[in-house]
Amino acid sequence: MKKILIIEDEEILLDLIQKRLTQEGYKIYIARNGEEGLEKIKEEKPDLILLDIVMPKMGGFEVMERINKDKEFKDIPIIIISNSGQPVELSRAKELGIKDWLIKTDFDPSEVVGKVKKQLNN
Amino acid sequence: MAEEKEVFISRQIKEDLENLERYVEEFSKFLPLPVYTINPTGIIVDTNKAANDLTGYNEEVIIGKEIEFLFENKKLVREYLNQALENKIIKNREVILISYNKKRISVNISISIRKDDKDNIIGCFLAISDITKIKGFQEGLERKVEERTNDLEKAKTALTNMLEDTQEAKEKIEEEQNKTRAVLTSITDGLIVFDKDKRIALVNPDAEKKLKIKESDVLNKKIEEILNFPAINKLYEAIGQKIEWTGQKYELILEKPIRRFFDIFITPIASKEDVIGMVIIIHDITRDKEISRMKTEFVSIAAHQLRTPLSAVKWSLHMILDGDVGVISSEQVDFLQKAYQSNERMILLINDLLNISRIEEGRFIYSKKECSLEKIIKEIIDLSTGLSKERKIKLIFKKPEKQLPKIKIDKEKIQVVVQNLIDNGIRYNKIGGNVTISLKHDKLFIYVTIEDTGIGISDLQHNRIFDKFFRADNAVKADAEGTGLGLFISKNIIEAHEGKISFKSKKNKGTIFTFSLPIN
């Protein structure tokens, strides 16, 4: 069973994605900020990370910077869940090596599933 | 013999005397000086021709009369006579003589006494000199002097009046100047006034404060001479190193002590048709900027904050509609779909608000890349077919006659523009209408035209169509959903690309929007 870590501070969205992806048969781990997320990455070694950008304690960019420095984890595919979808934000995320992104208001849960599947089937 | 001799001598003396008297008489007749001979009691005993001529009295009348008879001021003449008899010298005393014809003649009299051989006073001579002419001359002179004095007085009065008028005018001017100065002083914008030669004529206190200069230090100097003042130097740079009226607004930023922003205007001062100077106006917009920034920031934050719950609603509804959490009835689907659509509209509105706040923050156009405009437009047309079918509108794409060059644009933003214009074409159309999209180019621009057969825009509202939040009356009736932001955003995007957007419209006939984008 593939393991997905969702790092998202917004409780409802977190809950919704978790439910939807569980339905698809994935093992889901959750973290509510970047710090917690890094710990979970080390503990669980997920196959994919869904990462929010603006979060308390540690944001998504810093999480990516940390992962990139770690040989063991730097190849885990990351999909950004962005609130604003601002070009500045996305271009920085791309530089940090994300695989894909989605903008919260533009996507719905089934599309998220589509993006996840695409990454994990590669 | 001795007696004979005595008789002879006395006869001889007598003869000599008689001769002498005749001589004196003839001589006095000949003399031009009027002279009366008076005895010690003041009775005239003799006269001469000149005296008769002057007074008009002949000898027969005048001899035997008291001397004062001849004069107006009789007492004074008698007094002079008495003084003379007491050995005082009476010379050139002015009196008035009354002639036989009752004419008043100004004369000077001099009196000299006659003595016999034993030093007894036997009478006196009174000589008269006519000073009428001199007097007349003198009077004429005096009159002239008086006239001249009068003239001068008049001139002086006139001059005084003129001076007073001038003084008044001067005071008025000064008052006006003071008023102007007071106005300039109390004005809360900085002003630097330059004269015709571009020398500083005035610096108001606000400008002194803003630029940290003193009027007295810079008066009569050219701006080039005072660039050692840091703020003046910055101002000089801000206005392009010249004081010229361009109708342009310049921006000045001063960092010390705190960062402040100013709008700079340069305006000519004209008197009638001549330009008599220039004025630099320094208007502090720091607060405006701050308010504007806060407003934009507020909108930005509010919009961001709203996106998260809207996303949560969207995703929740979507999952229920997808049947992820169990089977729902068709009636439930219907209601949930309505909720979902309303939520989608809210998301669109929030997106528009965010775009506007980004436009206002000046960080809207992010990155320009070389793209095919034709491809972008085709993609949008494809995306719009759902809506157009729903509204029974035919979307027509006219392929450009010549191959279009690629252009450097911010693809996502241009997509927004095309989407907005096609959406409008569909939404504000009539059932069975068309939306035609065509492309062409010349050497400088690519032109995109989106033409509809819809409700059009009333002439009265043409000039407001690109305003933020503006929606035309007939547009509100036709479609309640619009935000009034689409065309505002589109115009900003096109102008940020240095292109132009315009339209032609006839109410109830349709509208043609055209925008242009520069080819590099």
* B312 and chain A in contact, CB less than 8 A: yes
Residues A75-84, buried b or exposed e (16+ Cβ, 10 A)? ebbbbbbbbb
pLDDT tens-place string over residues B422-455:
999 999 999 899 999 999 999 999 999 999 999 9
pLDDT at B88: 85
DSSP 8-state code for residue B246: -
pLDDT at B8: 76
* Interface test mutation site (partner A, options B305, B306, B308, B310, max chain A beta carbons within 10 A): B308
pLDDT at B480: 67
* B183 and chain A in contact, CB less than 8 A: no
* B316 and chain A in contact, CB less than 8 A: yes
Q: Is residue B44 part of a domain?
A: yes
The minimal CB distance from B314 to the residues A20, A83, A105 is found for A105
Of B331, B361, B391, which closes a domain?
Answer: B361
DSSP B468-484: TT---HHHHHH-TT--S
pLDDT at B322: 86
**What is the distance between the alpha carbons of residues A105 and B2, in angstroms, rounded to a whole number?**
183
Tokens of B83: 């003084």
CA distance A29 to chain B (A): 20
**What is the distance between the alpha carbons of residues B113 and B79, in angstroms, rounded to a whole number?**
14
Q: Is residue B170 part of a domain?
A: no
Phi then psi for residue B518, to 5 deg, are -70, 145
B residues 341-370 lying closer than 8 A (beta carbon) to A: 347, 350-351, 354, 358, 363, 366-367
Task: List CB contacts (< 8 A) between B350 and chain A.
Answer: 105
The answer to whether B52 and B75 have CB atoms below 8 angstroms apart is no
* Interface test mutation site (partner B, options A108, A110, A113, A115, max chain B beta carbons within 10 A): A108
Q: Is the peptide bond before B257 cis (omega within 30 degrees of 0)?
A: yes
Q: Is residue B114 part of a domain?
A: yes
* H or E element, residue B60: helix B59-62
Nearest residue on chain A to B412, alpha-carbon basis: A87
Q: Is residue B88 part of a domain?
A: yes
DSSP 8-state code for residue B404: P
DSSP 8-state code for residue B32: S
B209: three-class secondary structure by DSSP: helix
**What is the distance between the alpha carbons of residues B152 and B159, in angstroms, rounded to a whole number?**
10
The answer to whether B282 and B210 have CB atoms below 8 angstroms apart is yes
**What is the distance between the alpha carbons of residues B305 and A102, in angstroms, rounded to a whole number?**
17
CA distance B370 to chain A (A): 17
The answer to whether B451 and B436 have CB atoms below 8 angstroms apart is yes
Read off the CATH number of the domain in which B320 is found: 1.10.287
Contacts of B194 (CB under 8 A, 6+ apart): B200, B201, B223, B243, B277, B278, B279, B280
Residues B197 and B115 in one domain: no
**What is the distance between the alpha carbons of residues B469 and B302, in angstroms, rounded to a whole number?**
18
CA distance A26 to chain B (A): 15
- Count of A–B CB contacts within 8 Å? 58
C-beta atoms of A83 and B307 within 8 A: yes
Q: Is residue B107 part of a domain?
A: yes
C-beta atoms of B367 and A87 within 8 A: yes
pLDDT at B282: 93
Task: List CB contacts (< 8 A) between B324 and chain A.
Answer: 19-20, 23, 109
Residues B508 and B474 in one domain: yes
Residues B274 and B314 in one domain: no
- Region A80-103: mean pLDDT is 80
C-beta atoms of A12 and B316 within 8 A: yes
Tokens of B247: 């109708």
**What is the distance between the alpha carbons of residues B448 and B519, in angstroms, rounded to a whole number?**
13
Residues B377 and B456 in one domain: yes
Residues B342 and B410 in one domain: no
pLDDT at B4: 73
C-beta atoms of B316 and A19 within 8 A: no
Read off the CATH number of the domain in which B408 is found: 3.30.565.10
Residues B219 and B338 in one domain: no
The answer to whether B125 and B114 have CB atoms below 8 angstroms apart is yes
**What is the distance between the alpha carbons of residues B490 and A91, in angstroms, rounded to a whole number?**
23
Nearest residue on chain B to A103, alpha-carbon basis: B311
C-beta atoms of B307 and A104 within 8 A: yes
Residue pLDDT tens, chain B, 520 long: 566 777 777 788 788 878 877 777 777 667 778 888 899 888 998 888 888 888 899 888 899 999 999 999 899 999 998 888 888 888 888 899 999 999 888 888 988 888 888 888 888 888 888 887 777 777 777 888 888 888 888 888 888 888 888 888 888 888 888 888 788 878 889 999 999 899 999 999 999 999 999 999 999 999 999 999 999 999 999 998 888 888 788 999 998 778 899 999 999 988 888 888 999 999 999 888 888 778 777 777 777 778 888 888 998 898 899 888 889 999 999 999 889 988 888 888 888 887 777 777 666 666 788 989 999 999 889 888 888 888 899 999 999 988 889 999 988 889 889 999 999 999 999 989 999 999 999 999 999 999 999 999 988 888 889 988 888 888 888 876 777 888 998 998 898 898 999 999 998 899 999 999 999 7
Of B248, B267, B284, which closes a domain?
Answer: B284
For the four alpha carbons of B271, B275, B279 and B280, in that order, the dihedral sign comes to positive
Q: Is residue B205 part of a domain?
A: yes
Of B321, B336, B361, which closes a domain?
Answer: B361
Read off the CATH number of the domain in which B220 is found: 3.30.450.20
**What is the distance between the alpha carbons of residues A33 and B180, in angstroms, rounded to a whole number?**
65
Domain of B109? 31-130
C-beta atoms of A20 and B312 within 8 A: no
pLDDT tens-place string over residues A6-30:
999 888 888 888 988 998 899 999 9
- What is the number of structural domains in chain B? 4
Residues B447 and B468 in one domain: yes
C-beta atoms of B319 and A20 within 8 A: yes
pLDDT tens-place string over residues A17-65:
898 899 889 999 999 999 999 999 999 999 999 999 888 888 888 899 9
DSSP chain A: --EEEEE-S-HHHHHHHHHHHHHTT-EEEEESSHHHHHHHHHHH--SEEEEESS-SSS-HHHHHHHHHT-TTTTTS-EEEEESS--HHHHHHHHHTT-SEEEETTT--HHHHHHHHHHHHH-
CA distance B383 to chain A (A): 14
Residue A122's pLDDT band (boundaries 50, 70, 90)? low
**ipTM for the whole complex:** 0.78
Residues B303 and B231 in one domain: no
C-beta atoms of A109 and B308 within 8 A: no
For all residues of chain A together, what is the average pLDDT?
A: 87
Phi then psi for residue B257, to 5 deg, are -75, -30
Tokens of B133: 């002419």
Residues B333 and B412 in one domain: no
Tokens of B458: 């009333």
Residues B413 and B508 in one domain: yes
The answer to whether A73 and A67 have CB atoms below 8 angstroms apart is yes
The minimal CB distance from B324 to the residues A12, A20, A105 is found for A20
The answer to whether B301 and B316 have CB atoms below 8 angstroms apart is no
**What is the distance between the alpha carbons of residues B236 and B230, in angstroms, rounded to a whole number?**
10
C-beta atoms of A19 and B319 within 8 A: yes
Nearest residue on chain A to B410, alpha-carbon basis: A87
Q: Is residue B36 part of a domain?
A: yes
Residues B329 and B301 in one domain: yes
**What is the distance between the alpha carbons of residues B501 and B219, in angstroms, rounded to a whole number?**
49
C-beta atoms of B312 and A12 within 8 A: yes
Q: Is residue B436 part of a domain?
A: yes
Residues B324 and B405 in one domain: no
